[in-house]
């Protein structure tokens, strides 16, 4: 038989990861709810054309990283091309349009949590399937919407213990002023074109803004004196940006205006940002996002402004683990039900089932192991109590309760045991046990 392995760049998340993951996703959801976000779950598969149009054909994501396939159509005909989502925003916008969310009170504040697929070259913390927490505020052009997206990203990372957080922020203008800037940038770079890295020479033709955030050694010297987008903003974009920065100043949120930040996707207008901080290297992008006022219209909806961000869960989990942050263990059953003999096994199964129906956690022994082995299992699982049903208990309708931490034991009627369990275990199950 072949030995099956997970697909390259994709990983299993094992049970020992659960507490850390739920700490991160729990924090994200609870902070999002504090701002009034509600959850939207969209399918993992969407029409390929949605991403081609929404994210942009020239982006790395669409041009080389999508998992796409042709669906089967009716009567054996070829169906449409589908793609595993390489980002959340386009799908959330499709859902906003399709479900008429535009006719509900605006703005709509929506968060999502789930897997994203990009066929990137796998390396440390770069996977082909990873999870994102994504948030969008749709239907408001107010800089306060941008602010709330930034604050949500900031609070998520600060509450999880990230240090030295600092926003990198820029404005990419709107369809009126952006083209003027692109022309100026092209004019500035054109005389140097031959000396730019080959990928950037290509970008200069197809998507000149992308040259700005190039990491290529040959290109970098020519970027220092490149014109700044902020000098080309029209009045509306300039006012929007300065109002946003004013809020950040007033709230004492640290930021740096980064003239080279454009972010890779075509749909951004006005604000673009990344949150930098310690953890993934000295200073690295922890998450990023921006405003996309033309996107919904581009996808066939009414002209609607929007702003959002996405954070990668694997990377946050990695940083928290590296920092040795202690995370409370998740609740586990505190009681182990042990038995001796087949008849007692039935009674033990009934006892454990009854407890669970009442909301109390209980484990039960499997495979008819010796009582000694069952006690060892109870200890291994961290259960504090063992309820034993042996032949004597079966005959008397009783239960022997052993308290492992105090090495004390007591035989009691089933009713008395039930009352004890409700009193002692339900409170413990409800809280997180360290």
Comparing CB distances to ligand AMP, the nearer of 85 and 363 is 85
Q: What is the smallest separation between the CB atom of 113 and ligand AMP, expressed in angstroms?
A: 12
Site mask for ligand AMP (CB under 6 A), range 286-305, x = bound? -xx-----------------
Closest CB to ligand AMP belongs to which residue? 312
For residues 381 and 332, the answer to whether their CB atoms sit within 8 Å is yes
Min dist. Cβ of residue 86 to ligand AMP (A): 8
Q: Interface with ligand AMP includes 266 (CB under 6 A)?
A: no
The interface region with ligand AMP, picked from 100-108, 124-132, 198-206, 239-247 by CB under 6 A, is 124-132
Task: Indicate the residue among 24 and 389 with the shorter CB distance to ligand AMP.
Answer: 24
- Report if residue 120 touches ligand AMP, rule: CB under 6 A: yes
User: Nearer Cβ to ligand AMP, position 117 or 241?
Assistant: 117
d(CA 189, CA 212): 10
* DSSP annotation of 192: G
Of the residues 87, 148, 293, 429, which one makes contact with ligand AMP according to CB under 6 A: 87
With beta carbons less than 8 A apart as the criterion, state whether 359 and 426 touch.
yes
Q: Kindly indicate which of the ranges 150-158, 282-290, 300-308, 422-430 contains the residues binding ligand AMP, using the contact rule CB under 6 A.
A: 282-290
* Cβ-based nearer residue to ligand AMP, 143 or 312: 312
Query: Which one of the spans 118-126, 219-227, 244-252, 376-384 is the region binding ligand AMP (CB under 6 A)?
Result: 118-126
Stretch touching ligand AMP by CB under 6 A, among 51-59, 76-84, 123-131, 242-250? 123-131
Pair 200, 143: CB distance under 8 Å: no
Nearer to ligand AMP by Cβ, of 132 and 374: the residue is 132
Q: Binder to ligand AMP among 42, 59, 108, 132 (CB under 6 A)? A: 132
Contact 48, 81 (CB under 8 A): yes
For the segment 17-56, give every residue that binds ligand AMP (CB under 6 A): none
Toward ligand AMP, which CB reaches closer, 60 or 216? 60
Question: Closer CB to ligand AMP, residue 7 or residue 190?
Answer: 7
Nearer to ligand AMP, 126 or 186 (CB): 126
Contacting residue, 285, 371, 416, 433, with ligand AMP by CB under 6 A = 285
3-state secondary structure of 277: strand
Q: Is 91 in the site for ligand AMP (CB under 6 A)?
A: no
CA 189 to chain centre: 37
Per-residue x/- track, 309-348, ligand AMP (CB under 6 A): -xxx-xx---------------------------------
* Helices 18-34 and 143-159, axial angle in degrees (round to 10): 150
Instruction: Give me the least distance between CB of 12 and ligand AMP, in Å please.
Output: 15
Give the total residue count for the chain: 434
Q: Which is nearer to ligand AMP, 289 or 333 (CB)?
A: 289
Total residues in contact with ligand AMP, by rule CB under 6 A: 16
Residues that bind ligand AMP (CB under 6 A): 87, 118, 120, 125-127, 130, 132, 285, 287-288, 310-312, 314-315
């Amino acid at each position: 038989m072949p030995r099956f392995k997970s697909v390259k760049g994709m990983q299993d998340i094992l049970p020992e990861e659960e507490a850390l993951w739920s700490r991160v996703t729990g924090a994200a959801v609870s902070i999002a709810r504090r701002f009034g976000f509600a959850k939207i779950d969209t399918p993992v598969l969407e029409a390929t054309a949605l991403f081609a149009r929404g994210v942009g054909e020239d982006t790395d994501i669409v041009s080389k990283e999508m998992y796409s396939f042709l669906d089967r159509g009716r009567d054996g005909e070829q169906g449409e091309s589908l793609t595993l989502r390489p980002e959340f925003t386009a799908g959330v916008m499709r859902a906003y349009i399709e479900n008429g969310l535009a006719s509900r009170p605006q703005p709509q504040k929506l968060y999502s949590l789930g897997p994203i697929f990009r066929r990137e070259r796998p390396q440390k913390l770069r996977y082909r399937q990873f999870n994102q927490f994504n948030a969008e505020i749709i239907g408001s052009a107010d800089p306060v919407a941008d602010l709330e997206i930034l604050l949500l990203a900031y609070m998520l990372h600060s509450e999880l213990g990230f240090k030295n957080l600092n926003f990198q922020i820029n404005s990419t203008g709107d369809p009126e002023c952006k083209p003027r800037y692109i022309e100026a940038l092209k004019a500035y770079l054109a005389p140097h074109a031959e000396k730019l890295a080959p990928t950037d020479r290509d970008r200069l033709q197809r998507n000149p803004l992308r040259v700005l955030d190039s990491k290529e050694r040959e290109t970098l010297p020519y970027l220092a004196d490149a014109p700044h987008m902020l000098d080309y903003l029209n009045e509306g974009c300039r006012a929007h940006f300065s109002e946003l920065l004013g809020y950040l100043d007033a709230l004492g949120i640290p930021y740096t205006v980064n003239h080279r930040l454009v972010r890779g996707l075509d749909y951004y207008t006005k604000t673009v940002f990344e949150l930098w901080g310690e953890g993934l290297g000295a200073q690295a992008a922890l998450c990023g996002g921006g405003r996309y006022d033309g996107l919904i219209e581009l996808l066939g909806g009414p002209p609607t402004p929007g702003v959002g961000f996405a954070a990668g869960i694997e990377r946050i989990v990695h940083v928290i683990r590296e920092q040795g942050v202690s995370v409370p263990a998740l609740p586990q059953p505190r009681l182990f039900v042990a038995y001796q003999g087949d008849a007692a096994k039935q009674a033990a199964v009934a006892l454990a089932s009854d407890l669970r129906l009442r909301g109390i956690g209980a484990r039960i022994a499997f495979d008819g192991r010796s009582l000694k082995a069952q006690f060892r299992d109870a200890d291994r699982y961290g259960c504090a109590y063992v309820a034993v049903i042996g032949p004597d208990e079966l005959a008397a309708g009783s239960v022997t309760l052993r308290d492992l931490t105090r090495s004390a034991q007591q035989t009691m009627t089933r009713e008395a045991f039930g009352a004890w369990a409700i009193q002692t275990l339900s409170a413990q199950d409800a809280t997180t046990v360290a």
